[in-house]
Amino acid sequence: MADIEYGIASTSRPGDIEPLGRLNRQAAEARIADSRVAWPDVYLVQRTGNTWAPATEQ
């Protein structure tokens, strides 16, 4: 299984990604939920290499 790193991205600031680190999916989802309180346009991204992409459903 690939080592997945999660991050927070925003539709209002494309390309500006805040890395969350290598944590499990549940912890990443919890961080996104907290962030959406202040910034409703954030979403979860992931990378397994050098490229960030929207997180896939698991």
pLDDT digits (tens, 9 = 90+) for 2-53: 578 999 999 999 889 999 989 999 999 999 999 999 999 999 999 978 889 9
User: Residue 29, Cα to own-chain centre: how many angstroms?
Assistant: 8
Residues in contact with 19: Cβ distance below 8 Å, sequence separation at least 6, in sequence order: 5, 6, 7
Query: pLDDT grade, residue 1 (50/70/90)?
Result: very low
**What local confidence, expressed as pLDDT, does residue 4 receive?**
87
For the chain, the 3-state helix, strand and coil shares in percent, each to the nearest 5, are 25, 30, 45
pTM: 0.83
